[in-house]
Structure 1
Amino acid sequence: MSGTRWARWVVAVPMAALALATIYPLLFTANVSMKTRRDYTLDRFSLTDSPRLDNVVKAWTSVGMSRYFLNSVVVVACSVALLLLLGSMAGFALGRLRFRGSSALFLGILAALFVPFQVIMVPLARIMADTGLVDTYPGLVLAYVAQFLPFTIFLMASYYSTVPPEIIDAARIDGNTVYGVYWRIMLPIGAPALLSVGVLNALFCWNDVLISLLMMPSAEHRTLMVGVTSLRGQYSDDIPTFASGVLIAAIPVLVVYLFLQRQIADGVTAGSTKG
């Protein structure tokens, strides 16, 4: 019994320290955002005596965070929808169908996972500029799809490869074409993996700064994370307002995790076993 308790403590203490290290910055940011500039200058680390949302309202209205928030929602929603559609179709084809060159194509997609964005950043910017897609929503959406599609295809192909082939054979016997098998059988079966990869892609796109900064140079089309980054220079002497912008950007991610953590875990483990 003593050995079991000791093992539990060995696991619990590092996990508790990790949880504290993760939660503390968010709590500190929320506390700073509710202070006045004078209170923050006098004591940065003390708890605020009179919490107020003036800085959050200022960041949302006057600073323009509401516009940045809307830009991010539009771009992320379109990017994730296109990623799930293309990724699930390609994942089904590579995971369950066999055609000439399928193995080489899958290896090529797998190799694309190891190419950092900095390597393709300049050619991508030139292509987007030549096609007139710079500083447009479609341009940023296509850039996100190009960057995260190999990851999506890899996960969906790995998931679909665990689906018993008897299900596909039965659907084909019933008269379904390949497209019918995808829409009627494989797409519903892949719902857990689609939810998981959709949330991961949404977080990737939401937290991105480099691609958005490259594709959206104008202030009007900035995404939320780029807008928060710009606050560091504009409000370097007004830390509570800057903290409010950071808090606005962090809350959606926190809400997604709190409400979808079970589904994310189920989706990640759904393709780990066959049958």
Structure 2
Amino acid sequence: MSGVRAGRWLIAVPMAILALATIYPLVFTTNVAMKTRHEYILDRFSPAGALRWENVASAWGNAGMAGYFVNSLIVVSCAVALLLLFGSMAGFALSKLRFRGSRLLFLGILAALFIPFQVIMVPLARTMADAGLIDTYPGLVLAYVAQFLPFTIFLMTSFYAGIPDEIIDAARIDGNTLYGVYRRIMLPMGTPALLSVGILNTLFCWNDVLISLVMMPSAENRTLMVGVTALRGQYSDDIPTFAAGVLIAALPVLLIYLFFQRQIADGITAGSTKG
């Protein structure tokens, strides 16, 4: 019994330390965002005297965070929708349809997972510029789809491969076309993986800085994370306002995790056990 308790403590203590290390930056940022500039200069680590939302309102309105938030919302929503559509269709085709070169195509997609964006940044920017897509919503959406589609296809292919072929055959015998099998069978059964990969892609796109910085050079089209980066230089002498901007950018990600943590865990588990 003592050995079991010791084992539990060996797991609990590092997890508690990791949790504190993860939570502390958020608590510190929130505390700084509630301070006045004078309070921050006097003691940056002391608790704020009161909950002051003036810095948040200033970052949201005066610093342009509201516009950046809308830009991110539009781009991320469109990109994730396309990623789920193309990823689920490609996953179905690569896992259940037998065609020449399918194995080679899947290996090529796996290889694309190991290519960092920095390698393709210059040719992608030139291609987008030639197509007139620089500094446009469609251009950034396409860049996100191109960057994160291999990961989406890989996860959906692994998940769909665990669905018995007999289900597909029974649906075809009942008169379903391939599109009918995809819409009536694969999409409903793939909901856990779709939800999981959708949330992960949302976090990837929302937290991105480099791709957005390359594709959206103008200030009015910045996404939220690029806006926060620019805010650091604009408000270098007003750290509480900058902290309020960071808090605005982090809040959607935090809410997604709080509300969908069970779905994320269930989706990842389902995808790993059915592959």
TM-score of the two chains, using structure 1 as the length reference: 0.99
| Alignment CA distance shift 1:240-1:274 (3 Å) | closer
Asked whether the equivalents of residues 158 and 271 of structure 2 are also in contact (C-alpha less than 8 Å), the reply is yes
Superposed, 1:222-237 pairs within 5 Å as 222-237=222-237
Which residue identity lines up with residue 222 of structure 1 in the other structure? R
Q: How many residues align?
A: 275
SS in 2 for 1:271: helix
SS in 1 for 2:98: coil
After superposition, what is the alpha-carbon deviation per residue over 1:100-145, rounded to whole angstroms, capped at 9, x for unaligned?
0000000000000000100000000000000000000000000000
Asked whether the equivalents of residues 164 and 274 of structure 1 are also in contact (C-alpha less than 8 Å), the reply is no
| Cα drift, residue 51 of structure 1 | 1.9
Which residue of structure 1 lines up, in the alignment, with residue 96 of structure 2?
A: 96
After superposition, what is the alpha-carbon deviation per residue over 1:193-217, rounded to whole angstroms, capped at 9, x for unaligned?
0000000000000000000000000
Which residue of structure 1 lines up, in the alignment, with residue 86 of structure 2?
A: 86
Which residue of structure 2 lines up, in the alignment, with residue 203 of structure 1?
A: 203
Which residue of structure 1 lines up, in the alignment, with residue 242 of structure 2?
A: 242
Asked whether the equivalents of residues 156 and 193 of structure 2 are also in contact (C-alpha less than 8 Å), the reply is yes
| Cα drift, residue 272 of structure 1 | 2.9
Which residue of structure 2 lines up, in the alignment, with residue 18 of structure 1?
A: 18
Asked whether the equivalents of residues 113 and 151 of structure 1 are also in contact (C-alpha less than 8 Å), the reply is yes
Asked whether the equivalents of residues 79 and 141 of structure 1 are also in contact (C-alpha less than 8 Å), the reply is yes
Which residue of structure 2 lines up, in the alignment, with residue 184 of structure 1?
A: 184
The 1-side partners of 2:119 and 2:232 are apart by 27
Asked whether the equivalents of residues 75 and 140 of structure 1 are also in contact (C-alpha less than 8 Å), the reply is yes
Which residue of structure 1 lines up, in the alignment, with residue 126 of structure 2?
A: 126
The 2-side partners of 1:32 and 1:274 are apart by 46
Which residue identity lines up with residue 156 of structure 1 in the other structure? M
Superposed, 1:2-81 pairs within 5 Å as 2-81=2-81
Q: Does 1:193 align with 2:193?
A: yes
Q: Which runs of 5+ in 1 are unaligned?
A: none
Which residue of structure 2 lines up, in the alignment, with residue 254 of structure 1?
A: 254
Asked whether the equivalents of residues 158 and 274 of structure 2 are also in contact (C-alpha less than 8 Å), the reply is no
| Cα drift, residue 164 of structure 1 | 0.5
| Cα drift, residue 274 of structure 1 | 4.3
Asked whether the equivalents of residues 33 and 241 of structure 1 are also in contact (C-alpha less than 8 Å), the reply is yes
| Cα drift, residue 271 of structure 1 | 2.6
The 2-side partners of 1:234 and 1:137 are apart by 25
The 2-side partners of 1:39 and 1:252 are apart by 27
| Cα drift, residue 182 of structure 1 | 0.4
The 2-side partners of 1:83 and 1:196 are apart by 12
SS in 1 for 2:81: helix
SS in 2 for 1:272: helix
SS in 1 for 2:139: helix
Which residue of structure 2 lines up, in the alignment, with residue 112 of structure 1?
A: 112
After superposition, what is the alpha-carbon deviation per residue over 1:5-50, rounded to whole angstroms, capped at 9, x for unaligned?
1111110110000000000000000000000000000000000112
Please give the root-mean-square deviation of Cα atoms over the aligned residues, in Å. Answer: 0.9
Asked whether the equivalents of residues 228 and 245 of structure 2 are also in contact (C-alpha less than 8 Å), the reply is yes
The 1-side partners of 2:179 and 2:166 are apart by 17
Q: Does 1:263 align with 2:263?
A: yes
Which residue identity lines up with residue 182 of structure 2 in the other structure? Y
The 2-side partners of 1:273 and 1:205 are apart by 27
| Cα drift, residue 96 of structure 1 | 1.1
Which residue of structure 2 lines up, in the alignment, with residue 170 of structure 1?
A: 170
Q: Does 1:138 align with 2:113?
A: no
